[in-house]
A and B are shown apart, each in its own frame.
Chain A
């Protein structure tokens, strides 16, 4: 139709068709841009999944999975190491306190021995005096006097030796006690702190590895979600082709309506049946446009939602796995160093204790030797007693004074026996103390350190693997960052295309308003026009070009005065029907 014989209706419809043409072109351009960006985004998403998959493989590696059990074993070994040393150190303090008591007893013994040595010396002097009084008769007693002098000297030397050693050892014992009472609380605090920090580190590692253990499942979910979102976009983009066809059908229908509403001659009015047909056609096209608007909104929203879903995955925890592994490794390495330093400190502490406590074994040797000497001294004293009594009985009444000496020797012999028994008891206690100390010191031995050492070595190896995994994961993480940067660029492109599509949707609303106004005007100019059309004719006229079931449904709904919703038709897409 040319402009010379066009009616207001045909002009309005021409304008609407022109608007729809603009809409088709603009959406075509927007969708083309969107599809290109989506293609790039899909490639980047594939790269992201590929990189994340490598991280997951790395996390799933046996070496990395064995780190937690090895660190747990280290924790147990370190805890045992710490508690054994605390217990042993307390035991040593008790032993050293008992030793102090024993040393005091030994001092008493040595004092008594010194007193006996003095008494024997006095007896020696008395014997010499009596031998001088007796003259040739007392020759036998001269031997006794010499024996007493020798014995007294030997006893004094042995007693002095034991006294000196006991005194020296007492000083060492006092020093050990002092060291232990200062060191023990410090050691206890230090070891408790190590235990606490080790347990905290284990908790951190445990929770970290628990998070890591979820990575494969997260990855699987993410991969499935991405597939679903990509499928959603593929379906939604096809929605554009469907709405494009429907818009073309509306354009064709508007041309038919225009013909119906126009007369060949602008001065005459079209027959009412034609106007009714045009009116019904307008109703149908308004419904079609509303359905198209709804479909437009749906597939465009689906594209945005699916692309948004893909971006959510790019920002998921999966991407953060690398730094997490690194954090675990760093935390555990620090703990390992801490354990190493405590182990060294415990070793040096053990050395200090060992050298301090070595003195007690020297003391026990000395007391043992002294007791042997005491045994022989006791026998010698008994012999002296016996000899002196025999010699005294030979002399008869002349030997009263000698008898007194002989009795003195007998008394000293009894006293000596008692002291020997006390020395023997002290020796037993010293030996028992020595055994206890050896037992306690075994805790600080090399063999005891081996368990911890083994656990440390195993953890060091495990951490080495974890470190490699962390480096790899971090490297992959950096690549993922580059990919996600690209994805964000794509996001902006898709956003721009979506904005363009949104402006197109607005144009549909304007077109619908124009058509509704036109329809309203027809109803005002031609009352009863709503009922004056042939339904079969209308369906034949407008549905001939339809290619979708939705268009046919909308047509029927428009003629029935009901509404038809096209919502959800782009959700999953259709299956293939094989013949």
Chain B
């Protein structure tokens, strides 16, 4: 996997379009979900996703990615920076988002299944909205995207122990709320 990553990164540095398609296949949905869980707006998440990949290309060309094994952490780190800039631009981008929850994008074959899934997604989004960043981002990266703890620490620019403590605290909070 690391050798493949290294080859792909080298191809991307050379401007190979196939390598960028591989990148989008691997990271497009995770990055979109990460952004969507924070901003809860489909259009804004698409816009920010484009910004993330654009910045990734520029950072790659500038040689900022030193270790190709840390590709996931690197991309989510850019996504976090893009989100932070969005928070600065807007006063509170996720405030009063309840009216946009019906736009939750999910695809199921039948209408009832789709409705059920949309309700579950809404419920999960409500659960996660109890947390604030970076706790929310840690939870999404860990439990939705399944990133390694080291990658989460690198992406969010926090220590490994802080990631572990955050996960433990949030998990306890969720269990308490369920009880």
Note whether A and B form a binding pair.
no
